[in-house]
Amino acid sequence: TGLCSILNGAVPGEPVKTDKNSRRGNWGNQIEFILTSVGYAVGLGNVWRFPYLCYRNGGGAFMFPYFIMLVFCGIPLFFLELSFGQFASQGCLGVWRISPMFKGVGYGMMVVSTYIGIYYNVVICIAFYYFFSSMTNLLPWTYCNNPWNTPTCNGVVTPTGINNTLANVTRSLVTGAAEVAVEVVNKTKRTSPSEEYWKHYVLKISDDIGNFGEVRLPILGCLAVSWVVVFLCLIRGVKSSGKVVYFTATFPYVVLTILFIRGITLEGAVTGIKYYLTPQWHKILDAKVWGDAASQIFYSLGCAWGGLITMASYNKFHNNCYRDSIIISITNCATSVYAGFVIFSILGFMAHHLNVDVSEVADHGPGLAFVAYPEALTLLPISPLWSLLFFFMLILLGLGTQFCLLETLVTAIVDEIGTDWIIRNKTVVTGGVAIVGFLLGVPLTTQAGIYWLLLMDNYAASFSLVIISCIMCICIMYVYGHKKYFKDVEMMLGFPPPIFFRVCWRFVSPIIISFILIFTVIQYKPITYNDYVYPGWSLAIGFLMAMSSVTCIPIYALYKISKSEGTTFLERLKNSCKADIKWGPALSEHRIGHYAAPSSEGEVEVRPLKEELKEKEDEKRDEISLTIQGSNGSTAHNTTPSA
C-alpha cells in the first residue's frame, strides 16, 4: 500500500487519490494549463479585430454590451467546455460518450479546427516573412522608389537626395496641378508604399481568386518554418508545449507594453485613443452593436473549436476549472482592450502626421497587421526595431492558438484509436498532421492565396461554430440531463456549479447563441477584398466549407441510430442517446457513486484495479466482498435473462 501511495503521488498516511493519468498524460502544473489556454484564447483577433469593432460600434459605449456578453455567454460557455473535457479526460471525440448520437459534434469541431489550422499558420508564416524583412537598416516599405512601386505611390516619409527627386516626380503624377485636386487625390487615390509592398512584392496578388499564378517561394519557405516550429513545440504533446507557453503566452504582453509606452509618447496618440474610446451612447440601442459584441466574445474565446475541451482533458480530475474559466476569459477580454490602446495610439500618431482623420488610417484584419501598422512603424525612430517587436508579437500570438488547434486534432485521433502503440507514438501522429497541414496550406501561398485565406476566415469558422455550440448545450443540458451534469461537476470540483452558471447553461447562453446565429444570417454580406468582389462559385465553396462541419452532426446521428439496438426507430433513437458505459471519469479511483455501481458492465474493467490499489493488504476480505456483490447483482438487482 505504501508503495502504491508513492507511485500515485499521494502523501503516505493519506487516502490514495491519484489525480494523475500516467497513460494519457497531464499538464506539468496548473500554470501550464492556464498559460496554454490564455495563449489559445488570446490570438490575432484581439489585436486586429477588437479595436476595429470598438471604434466602429460606438467606442467606449461598445464596452458595455461587450462585457455583458462576456458575463452571460463567454464565461459560462468557457466553463462548460472546460468542465466537459476535464470530467471525461477525453478530447473532442471521446467526450461524446455522454450521448453517442451527438458524436458528429466532435467531428464538426475537428473539421473547423482543420480549416482554421490551415489558414492560421499561413498568417503566421506571413508574419515570419515580415519579421525577417525587418532585419535591415531601412524597412523595405518605407519609400516609393522600389521596382514594385506604381506611379500612384505616395509615401508618408520624405526621402532625401535622388530619392527626393523621384518622390517629387511620383507625387506630381498623382496629385496634378490644382491644390483642391491635390487634397482630393491624397485622401482618396493615395497608395501607400506599405500597401504596394504587401500587394505587389509579398503577395504578387493576382486579379482573381481562380488565377492561382505561381507559388510564392519565400512565403512557402516561411510556411515550412512555421509548421516545423509548431511541430517541435508539440513533439512531446502537452509535456513540451506546456514548457514553451511560459514564453509564447507571456512575451506578447511585454511587447505590447513596450509598444504602448512608445505609442502614448507620440504626437497625436491622445487623439487616436480618444477616437477609440469616446462613447457614442446612442449606438447601444442598435442591435448590430450587441450582435458584434456577442460574436466577438464567442469567437475570440475559441468556443466550439474543440480546443478548450482538449486542453482541459489533460487537467487533473479535481482541478478547479471554474476558477480557471473566469481567469482566462477576463484575461482574454482585458488583452483585447489593452491592445486597442496600443494600436490606436500609433494610428492617432499616423493620422496626425498625414493630417487626416483616424478613421482613414484605421483598418482591421490583414489590412491592419500588414499595411496600416507597418506604415506607421516607418515614422518611428529606429523603425526596424519596432517592426521586429511588432511582428514577433504577432508570431507568438498566432503560435499560442496554433498549438491548441494542432493538439486538438492529434488528441482526437489518439483518443479515438486508443491503442497502446498510438499512445506511445503520438509524436508520429503529430508529425503526420503537421505535414498534411503544410501541404493543404500550399495553395494559400500562391498569388491567389490571400483570396482563399479570407474566404476560409469568413466562412469556415462562422455560423457553423454557433450551431455546434448550441447543439452541445442542448445535448448536455437536455438530452443527457442538467441534473446529472450538475452532479458530475460537483463530484469533480467538490461543489455544484453556482446557480448563475446553471441558469446560463440551461437558458441564457443558448438564447444568446441563437441570437448570434440569427444576427449572422441577417447581417450577411458577400465577402469582398478591397475593391475585388468574389465570384458566385467561390462563395458557394465558402458555404460548402461552412456546412461541411455542420453536416457531420446529422450524418453521424443517422449512422448511430441505424447501428443502435431496438426494433423501432424510437427505441433506436432512445438507445443512441443514452450515455455510453465508458462515460465518466477516466481513472478508476474517481469512478464513485453510480459510476462504480456493481451492476454496471464497466465494473468488470475498473473494479479489480481499484480494489488492487486500495485494498491489497486485505485480499481475502476483498474477494469475499466481491463474491457477495456478484451474488447480489445476479439475484437481487438483475431482472433480465442475459444478466
Give the mean pLDDT of the chain: 85
| Confidence at residue 598, expressed as pLDDT on a 0 to 100 scale | 53
Q: What is the mean pLDDT of residues 191-206?
A: 93
Q: What is the mean pLDDT of residues 101-119?
A: 96
Is 154 annotated as belonging to a binding site?
no
Q: How far apart are CA 228 and CA 446, in angstroms?
A: 20
| Confidence at residue 525, expressed as pLDDT on a 0 to 100 scale | 86
Query: Cα dihedral sign for 627, 631, 636, 639?
Result: positive
Which residue has better confidence, 613 or 455?
455
Q: Indicate whether 236 pLDDT > 70.
A: yes
Q: How far apart are CA 126 and CA 202, in angstroms?
A: 9
Is 287 annotated as belonging to a binding site?
no
Place 639 in a pLDDT band, splitting at 50, 70 and 90.
very low
C-alpha cell belonging to residue 467: 450551431
C-alpha Rg value of the chain to the nearest Å: 28
Lowest mean pLDDT among 272-276, 538-542, 616-620: 616-620
| Confidence at residue 159, expressed as pLDDT on a 0 to 100 scale | 62
Is 536 annotated as belonging to a binding site?
no
pLDDT tens digits, one per residue of 479-498: 999 999 999 999 999 999 99
Q: Let me know: does 219 contact 202? Beta carbons within 8 Å.
A: yes
Q: Indicate whether 437 pLDDT > 60.
A: yes
**Three-state secondary structure string covering 290-342:** HHHHHHHHHHHCCCCCCHHHHHHHCCCCCCCHHHHHHHHHHHHHHHHHHHHHH
The phi, psi pair for 191, rounded to 5°, reads: -115, 120
Q: Indicate whether 634 pLDDT > 50.
A: no
Q: What is the mean pLDDT of residues 609-632?
A: 41
CA 386 to chain centre: 27
pLDDT tens digits, one per residue of 171-192: 433 333 333 333 444 444 568 8
Q: Indicate whether 625 pLDDT > 60.
A: no
Q: How far apart are CA 610 and CA 563, in angstroms?
A: 33
Cα dihedral value 428, 433, 434, 436, nearest 10: 120
Is 268 annotated as belonging to a binding site?
no
pLDDT tens digits, one per residue of 331-357: 999 999 999 999 999 989 988 988 888
| Confidence at residue 18, expressed as pLDDT on a 0 to 100 scale | 55
Q: Indicate whether 53 pLDDT > 80.
A: yes
pLDDT tens digits, one per residue of 130-176: 999 999 999 999 999 999 999 989 887 766 433 443 344 334 333 33
C-alpha cell belonging to residue 420: 497502446
Q: How far apart are CA 445 and CA 203, in angstroms?
A: 8
Q: What is the mean pLDDT of residues 198-216?
A: 95
> Which of 196, 43, 125, 128 is CA-nearest to residue 442?
125
- 127 located within any domain: yes
Which residue range forms the structural domain that includes residue 360? 47-143+197-563
CA 113 to chain centre: 8
Is 300 annotated as belonging to a binding site?
yes
pTM of the full structure = 0.85
Q: What is the mean pLDDT of residues 567-592?
A: 93
pLDDT tens digits, one per residue of 14-36: 444 557 788 888 898 999 999 99
| Confidence at residue 87, expressed as pLDDT on a 0 to 100 scale | 97
- 539 located within any domain: yes
- 608 located within any domain: no
Question: Percentage of the chain surpassing pLDDT 90?
Answer: 65
Would you tell me the crossing angle of helices 619-632 and 603-614 to the nearest 10 degrees? 150
Q: How far apart are CA 368 and CA 384, in angstroms?
A: 18
| Confidence at residue 354, expressed as pLDDT on a 0 to 100 scale | 84
Q: Kindly report the CATH number assigned to the domain that includes residue 365.
A: 1.10.4160
| Confidence at residue 158, expressed as pLDDT on a 0 to 100 scale | 62
- 266 located within any domain: yes
Q: Which DSSP letter does residue 96 get? A: G
Question: Percentage of the chain surpassing pLDDT 70?
Answer: 85
Number of separate domains in the chain:
1
- 418 located within any domain: yes
299 C-beta neighbours (distance < 10 Å), count: 19
Non-local CB neighbours of 252 within 8 Å, separated by 6+ positions: 42, 393, 396, 397, 400
Q: What is the mean pLDDT of residues 292-307?
A: 91
Q: Phi/psi zone of residue 494: left (φ > 0), alpha (ψ -120 to 50 degrees), beta? A: left
Is 479 annotated as belonging to a binding site?
no
Q: Which DSSP letter does residue 97 get? A: G
Which residue has better confidence, 191 or 584?
584
pLDDT tens digits, one per residue of 123-141: 999 999 999 999 999 999 9
Report in angstroms the alpha-carbon separations of 348 from 155, 257, 276, 278, 338: 17, 17, 9, 14, 16
Place 277 in a pLDDT band, splitting at 50, 70 and 90.
confident
Non-local CB neighbours of 221 within 8 Å, separated by 6+ positions: none
- 343 located within any domain: yes
Place 619 in a pLDDT band, splitting at 50, 70 and 90.
very low
Place 597 in a pLDDT band, splitting at 50, 70 and 90.
low
Which residue has better confidence, 618 or 109?
109
Q: Helix or strand or coil: residue 528?
A: strand
C-alpha cell belonging to residue 507: 437558458
Q: Indicate whether 466 pLDDT > 70.
A: yes
- 187 located within any domain: no
Q: Indicate whether 361 pLDDT > 70.
A: yes
| Confidence at residue 305, expressed as pLDDT on a 0 to 100 scale | 93
- 609 located within any domain: no
Q: Indicate whether 614 pLDDT > 50.
A: no
Is 332 annotated as belonging to a binding site?
yes
Q: What is the mean pLDDT of residues 515-520?
A: 88
Q: Indicate whether 7 pLDDT > 80.
A: no
Q: What is the mean pLDDT of residues 471-478?
A: 96
